[in-house]
Chains A and B, each alone.
Chain A
């Protein structure tokens, strides 16, 4: 294996490793625009020029493979001069409209100007004019003047989404990024082009002019959009609450995980944060009086529910209790729910509601199962067959249930709305626990506000059995609480003692009690998750 020395530090690397990759390993971070570890290497932007001993010209670090005994200087006057020149060239026709650019604050041009530029501009000529504010797709806007033609987006569309919408047109300094004639940047992964755009050329319609990035806090989380469990960062704005129409969660960005989503996420998942700050959120326990919902306190709601349950407990034979749990709930929620049902002897439990219309899926990141934790539910001993849901539905229809808990589900996705109305109309007490109202919650008698996913600490287990951690990015809205905390409170008057204080306590208990999770803790799950024990 060849050994390379960069700035006096030596490292042995695999054959075929490039100087850039070797430098990354040494913690020497060279500037980069066109280079992206997930895309092919083109060596076009030239910002990573380095000096190699015994080579007369500067070479690009991203493309040049390491040879044994190679000695590289990244900080020599010649190399630094070369990079500075390239940066100045990149800004020759760049509009420098940072004050009105969404990328400002996370722009590689700004970053590298501060790091390697800091020259006084020699440029006094008129800049070239190109297309501005082009609507090139359902989610993406293009400003050609800001584009530095690194072709990351072009390569993304050719190599990752394989949809080939984008190309570079014309020559020289009139070269311009555009979609091919008659095409739009419309594919299920289109917004990744915005993520990888190192400048403000591609911006996201959803985020455009909504917030300045330096006000945003980033929290590691897991996309709840499907069972792939893409690793994401939740970007929240809580310091400028008049921005972004007062939404707290303003955008989601993919977070690198080599085993799951690499650098990418799909557009469906990306906009799955929308319900979090929507008006449909349930922010306090609600009781139904006639046709009206009356907000109440947790105490009143819990007492009302405990009263109904006590009358319906199996040994009382006055009816039965059903639970429609949801694979949208975390492992922690589902574990405490299992303790709850076991203690009370509830055994009519359903989990999965298969949608009547088959959802979109592909062979890459988008899976048909739109729930993030079906696999976790299986590991925790739940029956995730749709038959369980049909059985529960049947019990309701046959007037055999006196209390029914529904977590999250909009059952109209899986059952005909008319029939569902008849079935749920036969249950005297329906308690809906979820973050948002939906078509099903309207059939309930009591609503309990659950925390939405960016408000929760917890874990999801993806389709492959990878347990991954999400962290609370914002506080629960209003009186909302995580489901396991709601169950803890509800269990108290029913004689169930839930000793956990934090989500980590619950997870540690799962590790002690469930074989598939044996020995797992939040520490061992780490940033990139860990596989269930088979």
Chain B
């Protein structure tokens, strides 16, 4: 399998070499010294592993950015209940497609990470929750799991050490909300994917009401390298409080869209103009979404920001899942906001009021504006609706729907006012997506 849209920096990245050498196949991974780190980790104590991961400044790469080592340390000691490791492979954030590459090209790196993380939290059962649409990745991953069992890498005695670990692959049924960790847990338990109220956090009461760690595919896949080369090595690659490399999924109007494994803290300008080859057709950049569709967009003058969790939140956006979406000067941002809001409306689980009713309401208002039937008060009303959702919901989906609305309105307000006044962008230069459906620019 080749990965023509996978790129990295001159140093070669951390996971990219494994993906390029098809480490979804066991013998390829073993040739590269696969599972040796797991063997080493199993001889370490759980506390040593957690310490090493804490030192590495590895943050949760699913989007929330919670320090991985600290999360693991929340598992209660001397619990009489079993502990579970759950891998979140329900990659659903629009603009993000990196876990797919890791699964399809480096399944065994993920499995090795699972062995190490399980040992760190004393879990003997791991569930991988993969999004339903990932049919081929699920097939590849299941094959890798089967091969690992056959090679006695998983099962009753992992690598002959006597440590038992079972790994189960569970396919979701296509709900974005099941990427939220507690909804994912509910779904794994066979229930409707409704997020739970916190606390208790999953580390105390998660899957089957037992202590559970939920980590993203990418996060866990970096663990073998950290244990192999040391936490400090990883930490140095990134920024002060956010270590290592990570995958940036770059899409939109760039010359070379793709998945880029780059050091954390690479500037957005470098990613867009150096790695992704700049804006298509020599056009000007109008807006860029830095971390998946739920993150507030940036204006062209803001792209010198370093791409790490702290730098982006300092300027009022988020790194999230690092799904970078670039939009050129011809893009109608009302259209962009419409499809974004429609997505969150469609994916709202319906459990709590602000998100259930607010997402649908915003969708209706924006769609009406896109039809050219907007009113000037709609712009403020939209912000009020979004503010009513923001922070008032059970899970972050409400915020995910409200943040882009607030972000676009704040940074590109004139465009929305233009739609409200004239029914189109910029006094008639462009018509909206719905009006010109079928003729894509």
List chain A positions with a Cβ less than 8 A from chain B.
41-47, 49, 56-58, 63, 82, 85-86, 88-90, 92-93, 122-123, 125-126, 128, 148-149, 167-168, 170-175
Contact = CB atoms under 8 A, between A and B. Distances in A.
B39 interface: no
B421 interface: no
Contacts of A56: 391
Given A89-B361, A173-B348, 13 more contacts: A43-B352, A46-B392, A56-B391, A63-B197, A89-B357, A90-B357, A93-B360, A125-B361, A125-B368, A126-B364, A168-B350, A172-B346, A174-B350
B108 interface: no
Contacts of B368: 125
A44 B357 contact: no
Closest 6 CB pairs of A and B: A175-B350, A85-B388, A173-B360, A172-B348, A89-B357, A125-B364
Nearest to A148: B353
Q: Which of A41, A149, A170 has the most CB of B within 10 A?
A: A149
B381 A46 contact: no
A311 B105 CA distance: 107
B392 A49 contact: yes
Contacts of B381: 122
B365 interface: yes
Given A46-B393, A171-B349, A86 B354 contact: yes
Nearest to A89: B357
Contact of A122 (B346, B348, B359, B384): B384
A57 to B, nearest CB: 4
Central interface residue in B348, B360, B387, B393, by most chain A CB within 10 Å: B360
Interface residues of B, number: 33
A171 B388 CA distance: 20
A392 B351 CA distance: 63
B392 A172 contact: no
A172 to B, nearest CB: 4
Contacts of A128: 360
Contacts of B351: 44, 149, 175
A63 B392 CA distance: 13
A172 B352 contact: no
B192 interface: yes
A499 B208 CA distance: 68
B354 A171 contact: no
12 contacts: A44-B353, A86-B353, A86-B392, A89-B388, A92-B357, A125-B365, A167-B192, A171-B177, A171-B349, A172-B360, A173-B359, A175-B350
Nearest to A174: B350
A58 B352 CA distance: 14
Chain B contact surface mostly:
helix
Contacts of A44: 351-353, 394
B161 to A, nearest CB: 42
Nearest to B397: A172
Given A42-B197, A88-B388, A123 B353 contact: no
A146 to B, nearest CB: 14
B194 to A, nearest CB: 8
A46 B353 CA distance: 7
B424 interface: no
A476 to B, nearest CB: 49
A58 B392 contact: yes
Given A93-B357, A125-B365, A85 B392 contact: yes
Contacts of B119: none
A151 to B, nearest CB: 8
Contacts of A86: 353-354, 388, 392
B131 interface: no
A170 B358 contact: no
A229 B262 CA distance: 73
B187 to A, nearest CB: 13
Interface string B176-204: 01000000000000001000010000000
Given A63-B197, A171-B175, A89 B354 contact: yes
A148 B357 CA distance: 10
Interface in B365-405: 365, 368, 377, 381, 384-385, 387-388, 391-394
A492 B8 CA distance: 108
B360 A43 contact: no
B347 interface: yes
A57 B396 CA distance: 12
A168 to B, nearest CB: 7
Nearest to B346: A172
B345 interface: yes
Contact of B350 (A42, A63, A173): A173
A86 B388 CA distance: 7
A92 B392 contact: no
Contacts of A58: 391-392
B345 A46 contact: no
Nearest to A126: B364
A456 to B, nearest CB: 45
Interface in B236-295: none
Nearest to B358: A89
B199 to A, nearest CB: 9
A466 B385 CA distance: 53
Contacts of B392: 46, 49, 57-58, 82, 85-86
Nearest to B192: A168
Contacts of B175: 171
Given A126-B364, A172-B345, A173-B348, A45 B391 contact: no
B342 to A, nearest CB: 11
B356 interface: yes
Contacts of A57: 391-392
A42 B195 CA distance: 10
Contacts of A63: 197
Question: Which one of A89, A126, A167 has the highest number of Cβ atoms from chain B below 10 Å of its Cβ?
Answer: A89
A170 B353 contact: no
A395 B404 CA distance: 88
B360 to A, nearest CB: 4
